[in-house]
Structure 1
Amino acid sequence: MKQWNLLAGADGAVMTEMHDQFSAEHSDIELEATTFGWGTPFYTRLVMGASGGNASDIATIHLSRLKSVSPQTLLDPITVDELQAHGLDPADFPEKIWEKCFVDDQLYALPIDTHALVNYYNKDLCAQIGALTPEGTLIETTGVEQYFDLLRAAKEITGQYGTSLDTLGGWRQFWAWYRQADGEMTFTEDDYEMDDDKALQAIEVMYKMAEEGLCPPFADGGQCASNFENGAAAFVQVGNWEINRFKLFGGDNPEWFSMTEMPDFFGNHRTQGDCHSYVLPYHNAWGEGVREATLEYASWMLQHSFTWGAGGGHTPAYLPVTEGAEYQELQPNSEYSGVVENVQFDPDVWFSGSAARLFDETGAIFNQVYGLQMTPEDALAEIKSRIETLLALPNPVD
């Protein structure tokens, strides 16, 4: 059985550990797992392999990319009867996520986890500014100004910033705050709709944060995390996949930080996020017993996804795990477990989703906003221009 994935680094190490355990318990199944480069290299390989019927038996994709890989032609559907025969049931998954696994009433994906933009905080620095509850968790704030007051107090302590973030990944912050304000972005074949006022409001938050020096004017993914580790910022807004990096940095004190959902800026804790999911690439023909072995693998991995959540920081999509006592006692994971209900997927269009062009091309614009090189008004105009250009392009998998 061949498995393809795009999980490297700490994620890849946890996945390898799980694969070793699966193989030890299933001597009758020969698992061959291959990791390809994250993003475009992986999706290009998947589409090319599936178009010839010669891809892997199972692959890990982002659920936001499901429609962009043309599931009706490049993926094999899965039946609910097959899942139930392997111990899985639709009720085992969050309804909102489960619904996104279908295209034209056919099930094409099995969700592995939810991963999202969350809010990490340095417990010692937050204690110094009075930002912790008696239980030692971050106090709740409401609205932009209340949270900015925390960042201002933190900046006085750190001498540099209040929070760190990835200025090249600004789409994540933008989409979180735009969706908190109930902003919608819908697409038809040749047109789209978005709320300019709410989009501008989200971008103005980003600009103001940088203008006050509450966040760095530039930080890529590595610098973003380093600012938090070296005490240049008391907070960092980054994905829950960084949890192991920060634990390892703490050495003998892995609990030097904690994490919670994105702050309530506009009445809720909505945040940008996605799901890793299993799909079955199109097969010219399934070898004898291979499909059964593949579904057994998927079922086992989901039922044992506590390891994935504890090791990789992602919130398992399999509810018997996340609702179980062992996971609910897991720290700091349980503190942000509610993020599953607040995850906002990227807009439903072929150039959107994880590692897609909308994320990359708007990222360059938001980077200029954080660098104070572009006003919010100009940024919004440029974003709309990029969207219109992308919308005019043909869908490459049509």
Structure 2
Amino acid sequence: MLRAALVGAGGIALGGALAGCATPSAAGAGKTSVMVWDLFSGGDGALMQEMAGAVAAANPDIAVETTTLAWGPPYYTKLAMASSGGRPPEAAVMHMSRLAGYAPGGLLEPFDLDALAELGITEADFAPAVWQKAQFEGQLYALPLDTHPYIAFHNPDIVQQAGLAGPDGKLDLSAVAGADRFLDAGRAMAEVTGETGVSWGYQRDPAGCWRMFWGLYSQNGGGYELTPGRPAQLDEEAATEVFEFLQAMVDGKVAARNQDGNAASGRFMSNRTGLMFAGEWDLPMFRDANPDVGATPFPAVFDTPANYADSHAFVLPKQGTPDPARREATYRVLAGLLKEGLTWASAGHIPAYQPIVKEPAYQELTPQRDYAPAAEIAVFDPDAWFTGGGSDFQTRMADAMTDTLAGKAPARTAVTRMLSEMDRFLSQPNPA
């Protein structure tokens, strides 16, 4: 059945539903072919093509081909089918938050650390939190390309007028550290704008709801246990405190009530708020509206600095008939793409390969250099087969929060509903 489904997926690719692109070096005989699936569209897709072209030019004996699929559940379903059918691409891009659903099921192969080291890629080149997330049972199953955190953008003029700027004219993180201080800062920015101080769009944005909660919950010292067949466990007091803070924030003064992502972005880009919570991938849009836009890691609202993040990473789908020559060429291609990280950083992503971040050229990028430390305090989704970017899990968690964020239910109601939804997932088998 899986092989039949895989043939169907291949037919779709030939029909044009997948965007494929072979680099100029792909033409000609005697080359080793390396196919990489990715989920990058728009500007990110163009950057990935540019990077793949540079890698192909540096490796004329390799035919580098990339295929772009729409990201979300369909992408991960196709990847699972291809791996199960034994005819996957040589490499694929995966959100590391989805790794726990694939590595345990034998759909991926671990990386050879010695082979990577020969190409100048070692553990020392990555932030510890990112490298750890790429592991499963002591082996490296993902090669991180970037860290893309949920951060705080700010309008330097409004921040300065509100008395929240440091000597450099940018947001002083100490001025928004702690729940009470943050809420006071939001009110101060609202006095400047005449409307609200903070933009956060939580309606119809499951991912944004989850990122906000999980980052703050981690700051508040919250742990978890998600064991299949057993009731989910969270620190209910810590989670309740997070929702009490969020209810205080969306009071119509600090941040608008009942606001979606587009409205929140519109307010920020039209100078009607001074601070915006969003993913760093929104940098190009915000910079178009305000060339001086600033950005920092997520403020330490609770005791422990932590920044929700995910990571685009390369994985090695399980090959039915492994080809040593293609595997060697694949390692060279992936190492080359990591070393093109400066190009990737232009879109706002933090290169996971830290030597890029230390380069003078990266340190000239603003505000990228200002929020790059977010990778050092990154917290990822809980390890479970059902969690991760684009998952139904995030949608269910956001639904559980809706009444509480809207002020229709107390903070603890959201926690109770989230635990109930987690229990439902834990009662189901991993389809992979």
Q: TM-score if structure 1 supplies the norm length?
A: 0.93
Q: 1:183 is matched with which residue? A: 222
What does residue range 183-332 of structure 1 map to in structure 2 within 5 Å?
A: 183-191=222-230, 192-250=232-290, 254-255=291-292, 257-287=293-323, 289-309=325-345, 311-332=346-367
Q: 1:172 is matched with which residue? A: 211
**Amino acid in structure 1 at the alignment position of 2:69:** F
Q: 1:95 is matched with which residue? A: 128
Deviation at 1:243, TM superposition (A): 1.0
Instruction: For residue 214 of structure 1, give the secondary structure of its aligned residue in structure 2.
Output: coil
**Amino acid in structure 2 at the alignment position of 1:329:** E
**Amino acid in structure 2 at the alignment position of 1:390:** F
Deviation at 1:287, TM superposition (A): 4.2
Once residues 48 and 127 of structure 1 are traced to their aligned partners in structure 2, the CA distance between those partners, rounded to angstroms, is 53
Instruction: For residue 168 of structure 2, give the secondary structure of its aligned residue in structure 1.
Output: coil
Instruction: For residue 31 of structure 1, give the secondary structure of its aligned residue in structure 2.
Output: strand
Once residues 381 and 71 of structure 1 are traced to their aligned partners in structure 2, the CA distance between those partners, rounded to angstroms, is 29
- For structure 1, list consecutive stretches of 5 or more residues without a partner in the other structure: none
- Show CA shifts across 1:156-194 (max 9, x none): 222332111230221111111111111001222322321
- For structure 2, list consecutive stretches of 5 or more residues without a partner in the other structure: 1-33
Once residues 54 and 225 of structure 1 are traced to their aligned partners in structure 2, the CA distance between those partners, rounded to angstroms, is 42
Return closer, same or farther for 1:227/1:366 CA change in 2, 3 Å cut-off: farther
**Amino acid in structure 2 at the alignment position of 1:210:** V
What does residue range 35-184 of structure 1 map to in structure 2 within 5 Å?
A: 35-71=68-104, 73-139=106-172, 140-141=174-175, 142-167=177-202, 168=205, 169-184=208-223
Aligned pair count reads 392
Q: 9, 12, 20: which one pairs with 2:53?
A: 20
Once residues 308 and 387 of structure 2 are traced to their aligned partners in structure 1, the CA distance between those partners, rounded to angstroms, is 13
Deviation at 1:388, TM superposition (A): 1.2
Instruction: For residue 327 of structure 1, give the secondary structure of its aligned residue in structure 2.
Output: helix
Q: 1:377 is matched with which residue? A: 412
Instruction: For residue 213 of structure 1, give the secondary structure of its aligned residue in structure 2.
Output: coil
**Amino acid in structure 2 at the alignment position of 1:190:** G
The percentage of counterpart residues that share the same residue type is: 33
Higher alpha-carbon deviation: 240-249 or 371-380: 371-380
Instruction: For residue 154 of structure 2, give the secondary structure of its aligned residue in structure 1.
Output: strand
Deviation at 1:110, TM superposition (A): 0.6
Deviation at 1:202, TM superposition (A): 0.3
Q: TM-score if structure 2 supplies the norm length?
A: 0.86
Q: 2:7 is matched with which residue? A: none
Q: 2:26 is matched with which residue? A: none
Once residues 405 and 190 of structure 2 are traced to their aligned partners in structure 1, the CA distance between those partners, rounded to angstroms, is 17
- Show CA shifts across 1:263-290 (max 9, x none): 1211233121111110011111234632
Instruction: For residue 94 of structure 2, give the secondary structure of its aligned residue in structure 1.
Output: strand
Residues 195 and 273 of structure 2 are in contact (CA less than 8 Å); yes or no, is this contact kept in structure 1?
yes
Higher alpha-carbon deviation: 295-304 or 72-81: 72-81
Instruction: For residue 189 of structure 1, give the secondary structure of its aligned residue in structure 2.
Output: coil
Instruction: For residue 316 of structure 2, give the secondary structure of its aligned residue in structure 1.
Output: strand
Deviation at 1:212, TM superposition (A): 4.2
